[in-house]
Chains A and B, each alone.
Chain A
């Protein structure tokens, strides 16, 4: 059958992992913020800022890894704004997050237009190239599907392991999980609630920005308006799907990537009968269904969205 052929092709899995990469960065970032008790709806704007800042840094001559660093710093900057508004000041995390998305998106477009007032199409950079690892990249199937991805995809996969290790194997991760469940438990043990939460939001936002940077520096080679196209919001949903666990976050992102890669291939097979919009909807609809099935039992971090003030109990 054609469908089976699609699913068995290495090129299908290669595409699925590539599409999943920005989502892996985004879900991990959102997960770190939310584990500490802060919802970060600035994610869509932080993606945009990361995409713009990383690409522009490379275009200005910073080198690809220099671009990655600049993207992470840009993400951390907007994360810090969100953290200051929501943690010590205790403002609504929804309102602040959407504000950060609007601010970061507009500021990215503004910077782009100011730097390049007259261009009709953006200048292109030389993006990250597919890796050619001796031996590994030559393996059948998995060599093409996994080991011929770009360095940023490898970084995303490593980041899954690092995030998991930090959250579940280190004292810092213990403190982050505690502060997202009951901030008073952390304060009573002499640790700083504000420090942990602000730190988690800044680091999480940096991770989100890498997702944006992947788009302009790996998947494509330039920055376009509207290129984030709701990927940030998908990450917020996937975080719930993942029950705030890094391993499940990887699975959720891959599932979404697979749906997306699948619909593109299905279009060429049966596109004659159905309008293309039906296929474009598919990953979102399937995500919603998966979310309904999984998230009904979701175990939210208990202090998520709840501001905490010193000396008040």
Chain B
């Protein structure tokens, strides 16, 4: 695993403080297993343990930990100071609870299974958790999860907002995930012969094909940025008043260049999932937002605003 530069002392110490109690409990462990467990190279494990073996306090100099490495196996002796891991920090505690609560809300979770028991035990040390995770899901999700488990090919009718058209295609579901309040299906798309993500609320129809495909493990699409992996997506360059940048910050941005004091306009380059979506964004941003590129969208905001205004001419409280 490539890393930029040497690991700083605080990073090494943090890992050492979980390595030592773990090692003492096991007594002996293959070096390769220990390296994999702690996401380090074998060389890094050896370097850190050798350094730890040199640490010590009077009158037990050089005996803080009792460890040696022989023929690819690490042996640990009598534990001294670091017999227990450091307590969980606030971020660690939060991350474990939030992940656990989220997993409990996923399809297939057992309320009284091992995860529930683990969370109860965590609460003993972290206190009342105060974390509620809601993952509301359409009924479709459970059907698709079942198809993932059985590798059954499905026929779906999918609406593509960018082209405002619905197409039918066969897909083999591989994974299901939720992100930002939406559910997605990651599947082999037999129409394009490639893996794709589909938003489940845009699946207008679904039917079983009875065809079972070979099992295949997939890497889940990259968090947050997953849909930008689609090379077909258009990019837009926007100039936005600095004080409105927060409105786009939650979307995946290719780049954000803050404005100078002189004009106070930031430049943002971002992928656009559909023209309709860009229309809505431009209406929200208001008159000072400018589409720099591509030029085909220079007047998109103005055109959209005119179209909405036309509705106001027709519709008023009188009718």
A and B interact physically: no
Chain A interface residues (CB < 8 Å from chain B):
none
